[in-house]
Amino acid sequence: MTDLPRIDLTQRLAGRVAVITGGASGIGLATAKRLAAEGAKVVIGDMDATAGPAAAELVGGLFVQVNVTDEAQVDHLFDEAARVYGSVDIAFNNAGISPPDDDSIETTELPAWQKVQDVNLKSVYLCSRAALRHMTAQGRGSIINTASFVAVLGSATSQISYTASKGGVLAMSRELGVQFARQGIRVNALCPGPVNTPLLQELFAKDPERAQRRLVHIPVGRFAEPDELAAAVAFLASDDSSFITGSTFLVDGGISSAYVTPL
């Protein structure tokens, strides 16, 4: 019997440079740890001037403070990654918000709508554009944009601007994946189900009934852990996913496939 080849996951991303927005907490921080463990140099872009440097130090990487809605700051983030480490190979455009004043369309006012659109959708446009400047010159790269399972499902407990923004991220990622496929660049939309992050904990601590209403629809019977999403990002960042682009990459515990959940 022929021995199967062994894959050293500590070297799967060796020599790659990864830029992660929202990298100081939640899915972003878990992904920073995972990509660093697989050999990547990690650049953390975040607003938090305390948690950001601590996260970068934890993964032996670089912190760049950035407001992801500001074009000049986003360009600086990706240019600095290339200046310090020599390339931009992976962009995990993950920063996002879900504020309490984004609710039903009947109660969500225009300022709340616009703030969510700017942070969740405009930022992905800016980050993808900045990353692509480097990746097209290199002839390679992997962009992973954080969308959501709500981009493919409707919810009666609405966060109207959040849902719309994530639908935009999904559609934009699909188009970029097709447009740049023959230039050696892959673009995929990560679509998490509900994840056990500080953002979700804060939202649901205020309304346990609302949390339970969501939880009951997940076939696996629990929320995802950030490490589980980080593993999916590492796969999409690596050459193991070399034939995957323009995808709706659902990591949702089965929620988007469920008609009824198991007893």
Residues identified as active-site = 162
| 3-class secondary structure per residue, 32-82 | HHHHHHCCCEEEEEECCCCHHHHHHHHCCCEEEECCCCCHHHHHHHHHHHH
CB 28 within 8 A of CB 52: no
Contacts with 141 (C-beta within 8 Å, 6 or more apart), sequence order: 88, 89, 90, 91, 131, 132, 134, 135, 184, 185, 186
